[in-house]
Structure 1
Amino acid sequence: MDDDHAPLLGRGGHARTFRHRTHRSKTVTYLALSAVLITETFERIAFYGVVGSLVLFLNTSPFSWSSYNATNALFVFTGISYMSSILGGWFADSCCGKFRTIIIAFCIYIAGYVFLPLLNLEIPLHRNITHPPDWCSWHEHKNVSNWSYNHQNDQMFTIQLAVQEDATNSVTMYPVSPIAGSIQSCSWTVYLSLITMGIGNGAVKANISPFGADQVKHNGPAAVRMFVNWFYWCINVGALISLGGLAYIQQEISFFWGYVAPSISLVIALMTFIIGKYILIRCYCFYIKHPAGGSILTNIIKILHESCQKACCTRRPPTYGLVRGSPLAFREAPDSCLDYAKIQYGGSYHDNMVDDVKKLSKICVIFMAMIPYWIVYFQMETTFILQGLHMRLDLTGNGTKASAEARSFKFPVAWLFLFDIVFLILLIPLFDRVIYPALDRRGFMFSPQLRIMIGMIFSMCSMTVAGLLEMYRLQVYWKNGTQHIYWQTVGTSYYRAADISVLLQIPQYALIGIGEVFASIAGLEIAYVLAPRTMQGIITGMFWFVQGLGSMLGSAILQSFKGVWFFSWDYGDINCYHVHCPTSSDPHKRCDCHLDYYFFFLAGLQLVGIAVFAFIAWKLDLGTRSVYSRNNSMLEENLPSAGELGRDNTTQEHSSRPGYRTFHRRPNVLDRPLRETSETDTLDTDYNSDHR
């Protein structure tokens, strides 16, 4: 018997009935869920330990990567993390199953993570100095932490670092171009670590949430929704712990210990997940596990290949004959190229399977139209942090002298990320419990497409606000054409910042958070609600894949502006403005750093993205209004209460109590969607059984 329909085994291996299993497994279900949720919490601590600090880690001593190369590294990590999730889901479906895939993924994740503390081994005799190992091709930059430019002549320039207000140390260097790949300390080690972590993280991301849902799916859809809510809550708890605690350790104390802690967190996550299995065994129960079987992704590729081969290669004219199962109806010409994979047109696949792939293509087009939104979204973790590092982190404003800075509390720049999380935590219940129900009662349906467009508008406003703030920051820094430097220490490094508070970044983070309430959640809704039930997993994977693609394209856009708004000799200092280019032979050529122009460009890109998305949503009919109208009425009548979760599902579905409809469905099939059966329900089997 298939594992997801098989009962849990009791003592001696005897199978319990479904009714007895549901009653018996309530405590066991909580144990399994607790193990999954604790695992996810510790994994998120490790993930945000990288996201919140990587730009600062690479931009400061001893690595001293240029600002945009440090930003690009984070784009690569997030891109691979999201894009590899679809491969992690495929691997679980085809090879090892979710349980084993999660364990393998955690091992890969940990193997990549241990490189980060190894790159920050502290010298015992100098606690404030970090030294990466020699094996990572480290290039030493003496006496320079955050690199600052001061032109002297066309051939060379001086890098200056203010240690105190009345003393400076200078090192004369020839111009180099780190963005072209030269003198990036330990670059191969850093990228090997990030790519390895990204692959492991993506595989965990793809499988941990559906694995947790498998533990409660026999208790009905309300139990699954309960798990999803707690799962999302644990994600935010992990983010709060990581960004609230680890970010301060990494910025002000030590990156070594700041990366050792999340490495241990990953080990705890893996051990919790494994120990959960043995605790359940002590109760004579197990995790509910699905065996590896045929992959939906593989079958989708086969359908696409067969349809293209028959339609484009053979180019056979449509022949007339009888439609299978309908002897009085004649075959019509195919509506699309994909129809050639149907049995009635000489293909090998059932009509419903091909129609699901056609609907999948529509949803994927919607997801692809969201790419500009994701490009903007990932600025929160990259360029926003870079901008904040060049603003005053000392909330008291008494940091002009090194001695004063050492005593004052400096606001960790990653803490601003928390404003996005806080807005999510506050606004999601407000919209879910108050605003959306009120609009529904008035007959105004907020479709996912409309909410995505609203989220895009907020993200565009965030980029505009960030650009205006950067313009103001440069004006304060270059007041009356001269530098007004606010020297501040960040760990063992020094930054030339503008004397304006970093708290001015709160509006742009808040706007991103509000946009996420609309766009991100609506995208997930499309993946779950509008997708064919047999393809919900693969469409969810596509949703994460498109996010990763947006991150990678953000990296490409950033690199494309080198020599335009960012310059290779900048070394992390985004303050160059109205200065002569040291690498140019033209004495009149100026090289101005313009992070503000970059933000305005992204705002314009998002505006174009809104127009394109509106056109696509208008042209593609996904049937959202009818789906949501039907689901609302069904939810009011058919959802079990929380107190009924422990009861037998069959008694709920065939209950004669007022307000409940009678459902007719095949026995032993769990968790059917909340809608009445139709002819297509009898065809809802997996792709392997449908294949001819």
Structure 2
Amino acid sequence: MNTLDADESTPLVPRHGIPPPVTDERGPLKKTLAIYLILACTLLERVAFYSIMVTLVLNLDSDELFHWQPRNSSIASFIFSGTSYISTLIFAVIGDAKLGRAITILVGFVLYVIGYILAVLITKTNINICARNTFNESDTPNTITIIQEPCASWILVTLIIIAIGAGAVQSNMAVFGADQVQQSDKPSRYFDKYIVVVNIGGIIATLGINFIQKDANHYFIGYLVALIILLIAAVLFSIGWRCYINVKPYDTVVSNCIPVVINAFQSWLQYKQNKRSISKYSTDASVTNSISDPLSLTEGEDSMGLNEQSEAFLDYAKIPNNGKFHDRIVNDVKSLGRALIVFSLLIPYWLIYHQARSVII
């Protein structure tokens, strides 16, 4: 039922978590333009992201600019990177199930630009939108918290806004680009190009923007260049709007994880209560009757349609087991759980990577 027969244009029962196919009526020029506009936007956005990510610690503890303590500079870097990763997860679900990927990317660009405008204003020394002289030389590094650092409130708010915008763009841009080539049966070529432009963006930011910011007086210029690059990326993305395939939002496996777990727990409690009731109210007569009719003792358990020893916990959420969800939805959530186990192995790697990059500097 989930596959297409020779005489069918769409499946009779579409698989949950997979969007219905979109008819691609674009010409070759629009298809090519859509892909390369997205790749160009990705390149420029990564330049803007790494322009602030790579030298964040060095810029904050620079004596010529903010003179933060190295420990607090590292904490700010962790806040920035952590917020970007968390927002990536959140906006991935929002883009798939609520707003759509294109709208989510535009929202991300708006937040991104607002954050970068604040960053440019903060680093412009003659504007003085925040106090830079709150550092007291008599204070020891251990007594200064991150909130007490010069311009801390403005800097932290700016970093969080930029991180949220970056997460919204980054989490949807790659998949949105894959939507444009889904009819070509060659999405792997797109992802190869996508990885290349991401790395090129990081190289340009590391070598180019950081070279501009070699002097403290040029921090403002470096962030201004990054802001202009980000604005160009947003404009390019908007220009190609009519060339894109926009997949409508749909329910995803991730959005159903919590409801499935909650319903499984509720059904499991109901099953346990029914089982205890059978044990409590069984009498010697019922035991005697069970000898002549062995199925009577398990009638209550069979009413749940569940074999406790053979079923997993999430199976309690299935409709045959008095749950609310179809079997394929629950099975998709179970498959996601197995994938999360594999992805969780990457957590120690990224912990060590960011710790080394932020603290050793």
- The TM-score, its normalising length taken from structure 1, stands at 0.43
1:103 corresponds to 2:106: yes
> 1:347-380: CA deviations, max 9, x gaps?
1222232122222222223323432211111135
Opposite residue 236 of structure 1, the aligned amino acid is: N
2:288 corresponds to which residue?
none
2:225 corresponds to which residue?
261
Q: CA deviation at 1:206?
A: 1.1
Change (3 A) 1:6 1:298: closer
Equivalences for 1:428-577 in 2 at 5 Å?
none
Change (3 A) 1:371 1:195: same
Opposite residue 248 of structure 1, the aligned amino acid is: F
1:120 corresponds to which residue?
123
Contact 1:35–1:276 (CA<8 Å) still a contact in 2? yes
Q: CA deviation at 1:202?
A: 0.8
Change (3 A) 1:4 1:177: same
1:300 corresponds to 2:300: no
Q: CA deviation at 1:203?
A: 1.0
Contact 1:178–1:184 (CA<8 Å) still a contact in 2? no
**2: distance between equivalents of 1:303 and 1:185?**
47
**1: distance between equivalents of 2:196 and 2:114?**
27
Alignment match of 1:229 (pick from 181, 184, 192): 192
**1: distance between equivalents of 2:240 and 2:199?**
22
Contact 1:342–1:354 (CA<8 Å) still a contact in 2? yes
Contact 1:139–1:183 (CA<8 Å) still a contact in 2? no
> 1:384-439: CA deviations, max 9, x gaps?
4x2xxxxxxxxxxxxxxxxxxxxxxxxxxxxxxxxxxxxxxxxxxxxxxxxxxxxx
1:88 corresponds to 2:91: yes
**2: distance between equivalents of 1:72 and 1:339?**
42
> 1:483-541: CA deviations, max 9, x gaps?
xxxxxxxxxxxxxxxxxxxxxxxxxxxxxxxxxxxxxxxxxxxxxxxxxxxxxxxxxxx
Alignment match of 1:34 (pick from 26, 33, 36): 36
Opposite residue 306 of structure 1, the aligned amino acid is: N
> 1:190-211: CA deviations, max 9, x gaps?
1101111111111111110110
**1: distance between equivalents of 2:147 and 2:33?**
52
2:162 corresponds to which residue?
197
Secondary structure of the residue aligned to 2:311 is coil
Opposite residue 355 of structure 1, the aligned amino acid is: N
Secondary structure of the residue aligned to 1:62 is coil
Opposite residue 169 of structure 2, the aligned amino acid is: V
1:53 corresponds to which residue?
55
Q: CA deviation at 1:176?
A: 6.1
1:248 corresponds to which residue?
211
Q: CA deviation at 1:175?
A: 3.9
Contact 1:44–1:238 (CA<8 Å) still a contact in 2? yes
**2: distance between equivalents of 1:120 and 1:357?**
47
Opposite residue 174 of structure 2, the aligned amino acid is: S
Secondary structure of the residue aligned to 1:289 is coil
1:332 corresponds to which residue?
307
> 1:597-627: CA deviations, max 9, x gaps?
xxxxxxxxxxxxxxxxxxxxxxxxxxxxxxx
Unpaired runs of at least 5, structure 2: 1-8, 11-18, 276-299
**1: distance between equivalents of 2:100 and 2:196?**
26
1:382 corresponds to 2:345: no
Opposite residue 288 of structure 1, the aligned amino acid is: I
Contact 1:66–1:178 (CA<8 Å) still a contact in 2? no
Alignment match of 1:209 (pick from 174, 198, 210): 174
Q: CA deviation at 1:120?
A: 1.6
Change (3 A) 1:383 1:176: closer
Q: CA deviation at 1:98?
A: 0.7
Figure out how many residues of one structure are paired with residues of the other and give that number: 317
Secondary structure of the residue aligned to 1:136 is coil
Opposite residue 89 of structure 1, the aligned amino acid is: A
Change (3 A) 1:319 1:174: closer
Change (3 A) 1:376 1:88: same
Q: CA deviation at 1:181?
A: 4.1
1:5 corresponds to 2:21: yes
**2: distance between equivalents of 1:176 and 1:383?**
15
1:271 corresponds to which residue?
235
Opposite residue 98 of structure 2, the aligned amino acid is: C
Change (3 A) 1:380 1:268: farther
Contact 2:51–2:206 (CA<8 Å) still a contact in 1? yes
**2: distance between equivalents of 1:304 and 1:176?**
46
Opposite residue 177 of structure 2, the aligned amino acid is: G
> 1:131-162: CA deviations, max 9, x gaps?
x62x42432559xxxxxxxxxxxxxxxxxxxx
Q: CA deviation at 1:314?
A: 5.5
1:312 corresponds to which residue?
269
Q: Name which of structure 1's ranges 313-322 and 371-380 shifts more when overlaid on structure 2.
A: 313-322
Q: CA deviation at 1:86?
A: 1.5
2:339 corresponds to which residue?
363
Equivalences for 1:67-82 in 2 at 5 Å?
67-82=70-85
Query: CA RMSD for the aligned pairs?
Result: 2.5
2:286 corresponds to which residue?
none
Change (3 A) 1:332 1:312: closer
Contact 1:40–1:235 (CA<8 Å) still a contact in 2? yes
> 1:95-140: CA deviations, max 9, x gaps?
22111111011001111111111112144xxxxxxxx62x424325
- The TM-score, its normalising length taken from structure 2, stands at 0.81
**2: distance between equivalents of 1:114 and 1:345?**
55
Opposite residue 194 of structure 2, the aligned amino acid is: F
Quick check: which one's helix share is greater? 2
Unpaired runs of at least 5, structure 1: 9-20, 124-131, 143-171, 324-330, 387-692
Change (3 A) 1:352 1:383: same
Alignment match of 1:139 (pick from 133, 140, 147): 133
Secondary structure of the residue aligned to 1:218 is coil
Alignment match of 2:348 (pick from 372, 377, 382): 372
